[in-house]
Amino acid sequence: MAYSIKTSITDTATKKPHQTSKANHRPPPPPPPPPPRTASHTRWDPLPPPPPDPPLHLILRHPSFISRDLPIQSISASDRLILLAATSHSFSPALPRPLVFNPLSGSWASGPPLATPRRWCATGSAHDTVYVVSGIGSQYNTDVAKSLEKWDLQNKKAMVSNNRNKTSTWKWEKVKELKDGRFSREAIDAVGWRGKLCMVNMKGDAAKEGIVYDTKKDAWEDMPDGMVAGWRGPVAAMNEEVMYVVDEARGVLRKYDPERDYWERIMESERLIGAQQIAAGGGRVCVICGGSTELAVLDVVALPVRLWVVKTPPGFEAFRIHILPRISQPDI
C-alpha cells in the first residue's frame, strides 16, 4: 500500500517480414518471442498516509501462519483504489469501513461503514459498484458467510469526501445472498465481467467450484463449465469485457471466449509461473510474479505479445496490483 507504480509506454510497432515471390518456397517458422525486458524508465511514488482516525492496524504475516500471508483485500473501481478487508493483530477484521484513495486528487477518504466488518471474503466491482461477498467477521457467522452487499460509488446523494456530513447517506445495500457459506474459506477476487461477478471458491491450480452473480437480475447462477475448468490461476477483466487468466502452474496467459466457453492460449513465459495476482487495463495485463519482487507487464494489443519486467523498490514486496490514473503531482 505504500507505493504506486508508473511505467513508461514503449513503442510496440514491429516490422513486417519480407515475403518471398517463390511459390514453392516454404516460409520460415515464426521467430521465438523476444526475451523479457526490464523497464529502465520506471518511477515509484509514495502514497500519502491514510487518515489517522480510525488508526489502521493490519498485518500481512504472523508466526502462526508460516506458509502463507494473511490477505489484504483491495480493488479498483471508478478510478479509485479501495481497501476493503484485512486482518488485525488480534485476528479480527481490521477495517470497519473501506479506505478510498483518489489518484486524481492524491487524497484518502473513508467509505460507508460495513454492517459486519469482515475478512476472508470475496471482493470485486462492476459498473462502478463495489461488492463484498461472504467472509468471516470477528467469528464465523452463517448469515455473514452467505451475505452479498453492494456500495454504489456513483450515488449522487453522497460523493467521495472527507466531510462526514456528505457521506451520511452513502451506504451498503444487501442484495441476493448465497445458498451457503462455502465461499468464506478464502480471500478471493470477484471479477466484474459484462454486468456479472464471476468467482471461484479457492485460489491456485486446483479443481474449483464457480458461481456467477448477475448484477442486473440480482440472481446467482452456475458458472459455465469451461470457464471454471480453465480458472487455473488469477483472473482479471479488461474494461469488464475481456477476461484473462494466468495458468500459474504452466505460466500461460489465456483469454476467455464466451461463445466457445473456452480459454484461448495467448502466450507462455516462465516469468508467469507462480503468478499471484493480475490486473488488466489500457491494453496491458500486469502480473505479480511468484517472488513478489517483480511485476510482469504484458502488452496484449501488440502481436506478438510483448513482455517486460518492473522490479519493486528495494525492501518492498508486491501483494496487490491495480491499474489507475496517474497520481496528481503537486506543482513545484
Tell me whether residue 318 is in a domain. Answer: no
Tell me whether residue 331 is in a domain. Answer: no
Tell me whether residue 328 is in a domain. Answer: no
Tell me whether residue 167 is in a domain. Answer: no
CA distance 212 to 226: 13
**CA 31 distance to own-chain centroid:** 33
Q: Provide the greatest CA pair distance for the chain.
A: 77
**CA 25 distance to own-chain centroid:** 47
Can you give the pLDDT of all 332 residues of the chain as single tens digits?
A: 433 433 333 333 333 333 333 334 444 544 455 555 655 567 898 899 998 887 888 888 877 776 678 899 999 999 999 999 999 988 899 999 999 999 999 999 999 999 999 999 999 999 999 999 999 998 999 999 999 999 999 875 544 444 444 445 679 999 999 999 989 888 999 999 999 999 999 988 888 999 999 999 999 999 999 999 999 999 999 999 999 999 999 999 999 999 999 999 999 999 999 999 999 999 999 999 988 899 999 999 999 999 999 999 999 999 999 999 988 766 54
Which residue range(s) make up the domain with 86? 34-162+175-311
Domain count within the chain:
1
Query: Left, alpha or beta for 64 (phi > 0: left; psi -120 to 50: alpha)?
Result: alpha
182: domain CATH number is 2.120.10.80
Query: What does pTM read for this prediction?
Result: 0.84
